[in-house]
Amino acid sequence: MKTNLLELEQWSRKLEPDHQTISNWFEQMTAYAHRFVSKMDDIPVYREDKEAIDILESLTVEEEPRKLEELLQRLYQSVDTVGINPAGARHMGYVPGGGVIPGAVGDFIAAVTNRYAGIHYANPGAAHMEYLMVKWMAELVGYPDDAVGNLSSGGSMATLTAITTARDHHRITPERIRTSVVYLTRQVHHCILKALRIAGLSEVVLRIIPMQDDFTMDIKALQQTIEDDLSNQLNPFMLVASAGSTDLGIIDPLNEIADVAGKYECWFHVDAAYGGFFLLVEQAKKLFSGIDRSDSVVMDPHKGLFLPYGTGAVIIKHRKSVLATHAYRANYMQDSFSQDYDDYSPADFSPELTRHFRGLRMWMSLQLFGVRPFRAALQEKLELTQYFYEKVSALGYVTGPKPTLSVCLFRIDHPDTNTANDLNQQLTTHLQQGGQIYLSTTTIDNVFWLRICILVFRTHREHVDLLLQILADYRQTP
Ligand SMILES: Cc1ncc(COP(=O)(O)O)c(C=O)c1O
């Protein structure tokens, strides 16, 4: 028995490599990261490589260890130079962000020290750091001091926390689901519908409110729909607004929606996952007027604050309600939870218990840079988008609505819809396969559009000019 234990110990001690091995790994890892960042411009912003999967398949998990050199080489070939490069300046598809380097510093330290950030007792500093990040965002939104929130893995998880809290706050018990109504427009992100489904609310009445010509919610139509619902004994439960929609970057009239929400006592949720951090830009602030009157806001640091993927956030005004939905106590944790909830424990405000200490990446980034470069980068992205909008129309492309934030739609015009769609699909393929610029597409009212969203912190005027040049050349191609 004793011999066996010694042998096991010998093997298990391999999990704690010696100092030299650790130093060697750290050096290789740093060199890898350096190479990636310094060669970023050489990496195609989009590249297909069917061998990538084969490489990974060949690296089966074995009893015997492999060398880091080999793994990094394989990682580079099969993951870090294949598909979309979301860290790259020339990525303008979907909602990018980039991944500022202090985020990696924070993550690295969080992984090595493995601090437990879920419960205040386990690490008061880690939990409180997350509280400070939530508080900073709550102040940005204009919420009162007692607002609460949570750093989530992303916008979809943050939305789930908001929706489940709203459900319980308004006592949407099973027998009330089918008579309760949620109001939104076609511009909302699908994570709202997904959260409703996961929260057991897929049978609520969904009212898709018509939009004005600028794709913002038509308030008169909203008001009329609610009145009709009331006269049909339905229960107006929640209004959902976009503050930076994914398709177009539009912002719904938040103040007017807040008036309606107040009048009919509905929960008012704002999806600012993409747009929220533009609140840092003085000139953009007025676009968000009324956001402070909502009940919950989602805003994603992995979008507008350029942090690495895995950082969303939800801020909610009703502390007691968030706790009522999320806080739990268990005997096996009786040492670690206080009864009064005075100290901030992220686990009390989200579905998660044990989780990544994601506050450190955000704190590190804000501390190492200060806010000013973030504010400047966001303003730059707004101005670059206006610049692109003006220049691309001068090249003869049709543009979508004037950009509100950093999304711009454009297309080749043709009187025949099918031909137009084909031409624009060909242009998209040309751009994506070219590997110089990555942009995405969308369809609005059956019209196919090319769409850019400028939000990688590394994207500057030269990159927008490159896209304009490609588009100019394309028009010249016979
Ligand atoms: C407006 C908006 N809301 C929510 C989400 C979902 O966020 P996540 O992908 O972090 O879950 C997105 C994603 O792009 C978005 O653009």
- Atom of ligand 1 at shortest distance to CA of 302? 10
The pLDDT of residue 437 is above 90: yes
Q: 159: pLDDT confidence band, cut at 50, 70 and 90? A: very high
For the Cβ of 191 lying below 6 angstroms from any atom of ligand 1, the answer is yes
Q: Which two tokens stand for residue 327?
A: 């806080």
Does 89 map to a domain?
no
Phi, psi of 85 (to 5 degrees): -100, 90
pLDDT at 478: 63
Same domain, 145 and 18: no
Last residue of a domain, one of 326, 347, 369: 369
Q: How far is the CA of 320 from the centre of ligand 1 (A)?
A: 26
Q: How far is the CA of 55 from the centre of ligand 1 (A)?
A: 31
Q: How far is the CA of 358 from the centre of ligand 1 (A)?
A: 18
Rounded to two decimals, the pTM is 0.97
What 3-state class would DSSP assign to 18?
A: coil
pLDDT at 338: 74
Same domain, 156 and 278: yes
Closest CA to 216 of 387, 390, 402: 402
Same domain, 193 and 289: yes
Q: What is the pLDDT of residues 82-112, one digit of tens each?
A: 999 999 999 999 998 899 999 999 999 999 9
pLDDT at 337: 78
CB atoms within 10 A of CB 430: 13
Closest CA to 447 of 474, 408, 420: 420
Last residue of a domain, one of 331, 352, 369: 369
Q: What is the pLDDT of residues 326-359, one digit of tens each?
A: 999 999 998 887 767 889 999 999 999 999 999 9
Q: How far is the CA of 94 from the centre of ligand 1 (A)?
A: 9
The pLDDT of residue 3 is above 90: no
* Strand bridging mode 235-242 / 267-271: parallel
For 402-423, give one letter per residue: b (16+ CB within 10 A) or e: ebbbbbbbbbbeeeeeeebbeb
Same domain, 302 and 380: no
Same domain, 383 and 235: no
For the Cβ of 246 lying below 6 angstroms from any atom of ligand 1, the answer is yes
H or E stretch including 135? helix 124-141
Does 184 map to a domain?
yes
CA distance 101 to 40: 13
Q: Given the structure tokens 């989530």, which residue do they identify?
A: 152
Same domain, 261 and 154: yes
Same domain, 208 and 338: yes
Q: Which two tokens stand for residue 48?
A: 């297909």
Same domain, 255 and 381: no
For the Cβ of 156 lying below 6 angstroms from any atom of ligand 1, the answer is yes
The pLDDT of residue 446 is above 90: no
23: Cβ–Cβ under 8 A, 6 or more apart, which residues?
none
The number of distinct structural domains making up the chain is: 3
| Ligand 1 mutation target, pool 151, 156, 247, 406, most atoms within 8 A of CB | 156
H or E stretch including 239? strand 235-242
Q: Which residue, judged by its Cα, is nearest atom 7 of ligand 1?
A: 155
Type of residue found at 32:
Y
CB atoms within 10 A of CB 230: 13
| Ligand 1 mutation target, pool 298, 300, 407, 454, most atoms within 8 A of CB | 300
**Distances in Å between the alpha carbon of 63 and those of 11, 60, 66, 72?**
12, 10, 10, 19
Q: How far is the CA of 192 from the centre of ligand 1 (A)?
A: 10
Same domain, 125 and 254: yes
pLDDT above 70 as % of the chain: 99
Does 7 map to a domain?
no
pLDDT at 2: 65
For the Cβ of 279 lying below 6 angstroms from any atom of ligand 1, the answer is no
Burial of 67 (0-12, 13-18, 19+ CB in 10 A): exposed
Q: Where are the alpha helices (DSSP H) in 297-416?
A: 301-304, 319-326, 359-369, 372-394
Q: What is the pLDDT of residues 271-311, one digit of tens each?
A: 999 999 999 999 999 999 999 999 999 999 999 999 999 99
Same domain, 201 and 298: yes
CB atoms within 10 A of CB 287: 18
* Strand bridging mode 235-242 / 180-184: parallel
Does 322 map to a domain?
yes
Does 250 map to a domain?
yes
What 3-state class would DSSP assign to 442?
A: strand
* Strand bridging mode 407-411 / 447-453: antiparallel
For 320-343, give one letter per residue: b (16+ CB within 10 A) or e: ebbeebbeeeeeeeeebbeeebee
Radius of gyration of the chain (CA): 25
Does 98 map to a domain?
no
- Strand partners for 205: 181
Q: What is the pLDDT of residues 350-386, one digit of tens each?
A: 999 999 999 999 999 999 999 999 999 999 999 999 9
Same domain, 241 and 360: yes
Q: How far is the CA of 356 from the centre of ligand 1 (A)?
A: 20
CB–CB of 105/351 below 8 Å?
no
**Structural domain boundaries, residue 20:** 14-84
pLDDT at 477: 76
- Atom of ligand 1 at shortest distance to CA of 245? 1
Same domain, 203 and 281: yes
- Atom of ligand 1 at shortest distance to CA of 300? 10
Q: Which two tokens stand for residue 286?
A: 């007025």
The pLDDT of residue 160 is above 90: yes
Q: What is the pLDDT of residues 202-243, one digit of tens each?
A: 999 999 999 999 999 999 999 999 999 999 999 999 999 999
Long-range own/partner contacts, residues 322-328 (CB < 8 A, 24 or more apart): 322/148, 322/161, 322/165, 322/348, 322/349, 323/348, 323/349, 324/168, 324/169, 325/161, 325/164, 325/165, 325/167, 325/168, 326/161, 326/164, 326/165, 326/350, 326/351
Q: Which two tokens stand for residue 295?
A: 């009940």
CATH code for the domain of 123: 3.40.640.10
Compute the half-sphere exposure of residue 289: CA atoms within 13 Å on the CB side of its CA: 7
Last residue of a domain, one of 321, 352, 369: 369
| Ligand 1 mutation target, pool 270, 303, 311, most atoms within 8 A of CB | 303
Burial of 109 (0-12, 13-18, 19+ CB in 10 A): middle
Query: H helices then E strands: how many in the chain?
Result: 16, 13
Type of residue found at 225:
T
Q: Which residue, judged by its Cα, is nearest atom 5 of ligand 1?
A: 155
Does 1 map to a domain?
no
Does 408 map to a domain?
yes
CATH code for the domain of 391: 3.90.1150.170
Q: 198: pLDDT confidence band, cut at 50, 70 and 90? A: very high
